[in-house]
Amino acid sequence: MEQLKWMAAGLILVSSAWVGFHAALRLRRTGEELQELRGALDRMTGEIRYAGTPFAPLCKRLAESSSGSVRHFFQGLAAGTEHGAGCGLTRRIAQEVGLTLPNSALSVLERLFDDFGNRDLEAQLSQLCLAQEELSRLETELRVLMPGKCRSYEVLGIVTGLSLLILVL
């Protein structure tokens, strides 16, 4: 019976710590995705400005040069655009592929991609520039806050596990 009690205590501690460390990992992944999306938008600007690449082939190219969820996001955009999916496509694909972006970043991407191609070249380029600036601002903000937030999540997970252990034991 005593051994079972210690096993349960260990499980409580490990699972609570895992939740904290997983939250910190998710936050780090958000930073990486913001950085990769910002780079993709930069490449997109160049492609549109100098080559005039249409949206669906452009998304396919961006998918080839991206990784992880960002790659799947651009693959989904390309496929959705080819099939004529309209409003709400960006958010739906972002959720399907598991992008861990904050709502403000998703809103920026929605404003950019949901009606992309319905404007003239200069308007598209200015929309891309605005989206890049906003993603850059969010990335910088997250980079400044990330070390403290990650540490807080990790410590909170461990402390929660210890608190539950005290209550159980």
Indicate the range of 89-93, 112-116, 139-143, 148-152 predicted with least confidence. Answer: 112-116
pLDDT at 84 over 70: no
Q: What is the mean pLDDT of residues 151-156?
A: 88
pLDDT at 136: 92
SS (H, E, C) 95-112: HHHCCCCCHHHHHHHHHH
The encoded tokens of residue 6 equal 């210690």
Q: CA-to-CA distance for 127 and 111, rounded, in angstroms?
A: 8
- Rg of the chain taking only CA atoms, in angstroms: 21
Q: For residue 118, how far is the Cα from the chain centroid?
A: 26
Average the pLDDT over 98-102 and give the result: 88
Higher pLDDT, residue 147 or 83: 147
pTM as predicted? 0.80
Which residue reads 């980079």 in tokens?
143
Q: Given this model, what pLDDT does residue 111 score? A: 87
pLDDT of residue 32: 92
Instruction: Give helix 103-113 / helix 89-97 axis angle, nearest 10°.
Output: 130
pLDDT in tens, 24-69: 899 899 999 999 999 999 999 988 888 878 888 888 999 999 988 9
12-24 exposure pattern, b = at least 16 Cβ within 10 A, e = fewer = bbeebbebbeebb
If one compares 169 and 121, the residue with the highest pLDDT of the two is 121
More confident residue, 167 or 104: 104
Name 58's Cβ contacts closer than 8 Å, sequence gap at least 6. 44, 47, 48
DSSP 51: T
Query: Mean of the per-residue pLDDT values for the chain?
Result: 86
